[in-house]
Amino acid sequence: HAHNLFINTGAESGIFSLILLLLLIFYSWRDLRKSQLLFLSSGDTLFSNLAQATEISLIGFVVLNMFTWDAYLLIFWIVISLGVVFKKLAIMESGAK
């Protein structure tokens, strides 16, 4: 195994899978950033801080997996799903006010 999640994904699954993984990470990061700003604009600092903490976790995951290939993969999928949930909550909250 390569000692890097991204090189390992590219080597085992191909460049298409690597691009999909990178796009998934990018769109999750973008959704977390948007939800953080939406929560701030509606005055909900608790959820804004939670979205920011999840964004930091995603960035930490990316940096960590530049040096390892199997570290905390379950946490990655939890962070991705939290990004989707926070975005939906932020849209519902901003639409309600």
Query: How confident is the model over 67-80, as pLDDT tens digits?
Result: 876 666 788 889 99
Confidence of residue 51 (pLDDT cuts 50, 70, 90): very high
Percentage of residues of the chain with pLDDT beyond 70: 92
Residues 6+ apart with CB under 8 A from 87: 31, 32, 34, 35
- Span 47-51, average pLDDT: 95
Which pLDDT value is given to residue 14?
A: 93
Which pLDDT value is given to residue 40?
A: 93
- Ramachandran category for residue 2: left, alpha or beta (phi over 0 → left; psi -120 to 50 → alpha): beta
Which pLDDT value is given to residue 76?
A: 85
CA distance 28 to 58: 8
